[in-house]
Structure 1
Amino acid sequence: MIETLFERYARAVRAKDAASFLALYADEARVFDLWDRWSYDGVAARRRSIEDWFGSLGDETVEVRFDEVRITSNGDIAVAHAFTSFTAYASDGTALRSMQNRLSWGLQRRDDGWRIIHEHTSAPLIGETMEVQLVR
């Protein structure tokens, strides 16, 4: 089921498990990420950024929450989108920082289940200040 992709994504981030995280994506997936680059073409291109992100967290954990998830599917193709919240916690449970963004996935059902073939994350740009709004 498509809904399990959201659960697996959140579990992989919390565990800082790059292999499980990247397994959500088709090998040829194109990702338009909010951070650093215009696009990542394929899992191999994205691997380093995910490993660096998880490695930078040290003892922290990151909880991911998806709100207002909407899924439309037709056969082996689907689109899913949601508002996503990321909250980092210290080892003692203290919330350290958080951010929100918008997430859209293009999905394809394969022999081994649903895979993300396209991901786009974004946040609105405040026109007057040219700052990214990371809180909804």
Structure 2
Amino acid sequence: MPAQHEVDEAKIRQQVDKLVEGIRGKDLKALEQVYAADVVSFDIEPPLQHVGIAAKLKNWTHAFTLFREPSYEVRDLTLTVGADVAYGHCFARFSGTLADGTATSGMWVRATYGFRKIDDAWLIAHDQVSVPIDMPSGKGVADLEP
């Protein structure tokens, strides 16, 4: 029988898989199931933070209007799991076919997730997406790859 830590890590990885599939399917109902109601998101787009599930889903809705067929990829997901909180980090890329039919390879970003175990479900309570910044110019560097 696997240790509770292994069971919880597997459940969190399943949640990340649901996130990926929800994005690929532009499925807001599926995405709603992976976030805590009071999620705080420091996403790539303004404002500085999106607070609550409605704000997070509004952000995804905006992203989906840009894409006819989105793709989402997660690489190198590393997790640290406690009894009722966990965190993880990875590289992620949102790409696909834009609404005008143009294909885009997107860009790799750094993603960090904070999870809380709520009613035996691991939900994303916090996420942060970022790109490195070129200090002299003050501009994001969006052409790096993991």
The TM-score with structure 2 as length reference comes to 0.82
Q: Does structure 1 residue 114 correspond to structure 2 residue 122?
A: yes
* Matching of residue 4 in structure 1 with residue 11 in structure 2: no
Which one is further off, 13-22 or 100-109? 13-22
**Which digits, 9 at most, give the CA deviation of each residue in 1:36-91, with x for residues without a partner?**
1100111122232221221332xx21211111110001111100110111221369
Task: Give yes or no for the alignment of 1:99 onto 2:107.
Answer: yes
RMSD across aligned positions (CA): 2.0
> What is residue 71 of structure 2 aligned with on the other side?
63
Deviation of residue 14 (structure 1)?
0.9
User: Taking structure 1 as reference, are residues 90 and 50 closer, same or farther at Cα in structure 2, changes over 3 Å only?
Assistant: closer
For residue 143 of structure 2, give the secondary structure of its aligned residue in structure 1: coil
> Could you list the runs of 5+ residues in structure 2 that have no partner in the other structure?
1-10
What secondary structure does 1:34 align onto? coil
**Number of paired residues?**
133
Task: State the alpha-carbon separation in 1 of the partners of residues 57 and 94 from structure 2.
Answer: 20
Q: Give the superposition deviation at 1:95.
A: 3.6
2:59 corresponds to 1:53: no
**Amino-acid identity (%):** 23
Distance 1:72 1:15, change over 3 A: same
Question: Deviation string for 1:10-48 (max 9, x for gaps)?
Answer: 111111111211321100011111111100111122232
Structure 2 SS opposite 1:2: helix
Q: Which runs of 4+ in 1 moved over 6 A?
A: none
> Is this contact kept in 2: 1:69–1:83, CA < 8 A?
yes
